[in-house]
Structure 1
Amino acid sequence: MVALIFDHTLELQDGLYNESAALTLMSTDVDTISRSIEMWHGVWASLFEVVIGVTLLARELGWVCVMPLIVIGLGVVGSSQITKVIGNRQKVWAGSVQRRIAITSSMLGSMKAVKMMGLTQVMSSIVQGQRVRELNLQKNFRWAILWVNVVGK
């Protein structure tokens, strides 16, 4: 998928879009899509597990078989409440990634001037600071994912 996106960006008209925006978020978006596909397989498989498990419990225990369904329902409600904030947190993190990559690209594009002016350490610390900022913003996203896993499992 990354190769297809990259090939498509090579065919775009020059100067039409901000190239850092198109290429910066490419791997982040592909990773998100990959995780979503993996989670989808877990959803349909879990549905079969629940149906088979409740059927077996109903045969052995009777009406008590609804208790796992109640727990599942509570997990779904809790997860849906938490996932409402995930999109915004991921958007902020992806924007931070884009900003860091744009700064790095700009710095590399003018590396000769940076070296001539002796600003290598300064620029390095700016990029490192952006990476630290990015990781701090990603932390909020990771915590939300953690809570979805805790509530949903």
Structure 2
Amino acid sequence: MVTLIYNHTLEIQDGLQFEGAALTLMSTENIVESLEPINEIWGSTIEMAIVCTFGQASVAKRIGQKRQMWTQAIQERVSTTASAP
């Protein structure tokens, strides 16, 4: 079998041996191109984690004050409603 393959490669017309090389190069290039989004995915994941952490800290600072104002406004409405004749 090896002898047949070897003999066949010796009989290949000039220039045909490079077609396989081109296909191999195209396959390798496709693999490399398909791996590029992986870098973007893990980078975006880290970016989102950082944004969410700082965003949550910013919201948490203000939520206490806003919640207190909300509760006070509810208490005023309840007091006004309760004191109505």
TM category (shorter chain) comes to: 0.3 to 0.5
Name the larger-Rg structure.
2
Question: TM-score, normalised to structure 1's length?
Answer: 0.28
Q: Which structure has the higher relative contact order (CA within 8 Å, separation 6+)? A: 1
